[in-house]
């Protein structure tokens, strides 16, 4: 029916309509391309935190950073979007509850600025406290096992180098401020430790520890760590694409920062820039 109507239009008018249609088509495409070109890349601040803080880092520290950065979107290390908890400050004051500093900072910031764009990017962990306790127990058993065996000299040197770097890292982060623990040097140190977990600790465990089940648990824990971080990267990228050109603050446990930085950097070109805490804000 439409074709019959079109064919009944005189040829000269038909050509005119065709030219107008083609012009409008390319004009719309041009506008879309211009809009994309004029959209500034998103800014992404990955802020590594200590969930329970230290004497230099607490929820007030994070709150001040949020005020300074004025993000459009905040992502926090949880599987659900942020929700305020009624009576949280009272429960903390009475020592009935011990909320993480991110929860306290976000609750204060969301209330003060009526801010709602706070989304979760972690996978679901049914019981986070139990997961952390079990993971810590496995690590302790592995290193206790390695500490009690007689190693070949080269293996002993590798283990000692790992322990020195680990001691430095954890001593430093519990005695430093937020900007210091987010420095590239500390991020690099954490990256190396997780690389050495796979390259040194797993092989040494297989060589010197007789408990095969424990070794499997340790290796599975590392596999889960990488899978979880990869999931985080994908979730964050989804938000960056959804809120293109916006300023993001990502609040995450410090040990995740190196992985998120590396994973996101692979997709950043022309879409977003990753900035360090303390960089100039445009």
**In this predicted model, which residue has the larger pLDDT, 191 or 96?**
191
DSSP 60-112: HHHHHHHHHH--SEEEESSSS-----TTHHHHHHTTS----HHHHHHHHHHHH
DSSP 17-65: HHHHHHHHHHHHHHHHHHHHHHSPPEEEEEEEE-TT--SS--HHHHHHH
Cα distance between residue 129 and residue 125, in whole Å: 9
DSSP 261-276: HHHHHTT-TTTEEEE-
Cα distance between residue 20 and residue 2, in whole Å: 18
At 85 the pLDDT is: 87
Cα dihedral sign, 265-271-276-280: positive
- Residue 264 φ/ψ region, left for φ over 0, alpha for ψ in the -120 to 50 degree band, beta for the rest: alpha
User: How confident is the model over 84-126, as pLDDT tens digits?
Assistant: 888 887 777 777 778 999 999 999 999 999 999 999 999 999 9
If one counts every other C-beta atom within 10 angstroms of the C-beta of residue 103, the result is 21
Cα dihedral sign, 44-106-280-243: positive
At 115 the pLDDT is: 94
User: How confident is the model over 26-65, as pLDDT tens digits?
Assistant: 555 545 544 444 479 999 999 999 999 999 999 999 999 9
**In this predicted model, which residue has the larger pLDDT, 170 or 13?**
170
Provide mean pLDDT across the span 144-172. 97
pLDDT higher than 90, residue 137: yes
CA distance to 55, 82, 125, 143, 172, per residue, from 185 (Å) = 21, 31, 30, 25, 11
pLDDT higher than 80, residue 172: yes
This prediction's pTM:
0.83
Q: Which residues contact 139 (CB under 8 A, 6 or more apart)?
A: 218, 221
201: which DSSP letter? I
pLDDT higher than 90, residue 278: no
Write down the mean pLDDT value for the chain. 89
Cα distance between residue 224 and residue 233, in whole Å: 14
């Amino acid at each position: 029916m439409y074709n019959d109507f079109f064919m009944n239009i005189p040829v000269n008018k038909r050509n005119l309509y065709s030219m107008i249609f083609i012009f409008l088509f390319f004009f719309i495409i041009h506008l879309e391309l211009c809009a994309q070109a004029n959209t500034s890349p998103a800014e992404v601040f990955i802020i590594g935190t200590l969930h329970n803080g230290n004497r230099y880092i607490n929820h007030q520290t994070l709150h001040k950073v949020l005020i300074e950065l004025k993000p459009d979107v905040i992502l926090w290390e949880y599987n659900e979007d942020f929700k305020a908890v009624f009576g949280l400050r009272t429960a903390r004051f009475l020592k009935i509850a011990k909320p993480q500093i991110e929860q306290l900072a976000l609750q204060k910031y969301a209330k003060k600025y009526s801010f709602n764009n706070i989304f979760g990017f972690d996978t679901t962990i049914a019981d986070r406290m139990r997961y952390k306790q079990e993971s810590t127990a496995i690590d302790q058993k592995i290193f206790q096992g390695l500490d009690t065996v007689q190693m070949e000299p080269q293996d002993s040197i590798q283990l000692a180098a790992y322990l020195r770097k680990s001691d430095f890292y954890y001593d430093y982060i519990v005695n430093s401020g937020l900007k210091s623990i987010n420095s590239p040097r500390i991020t690099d140190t954490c990256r190396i430790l997780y690389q050495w977990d796979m390259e040194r600790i797993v092989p040494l465990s297989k060589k010197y520890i007789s408990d095969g089940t424990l070794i499997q648990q340790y290796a599975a824990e590392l596999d889960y760590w990488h899978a979880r971080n990869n999931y985080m990267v994908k979730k964050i990228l989804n938000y960056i694409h959804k809120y293109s050109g916006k300023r993001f603050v990502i609040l995450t446990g410090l040990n995740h920062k190196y992985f998120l930085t590396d994973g996101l950097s692979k997709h950043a070109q022309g879409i977003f820039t990753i900035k360090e805490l303390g960089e100039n804000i445009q």
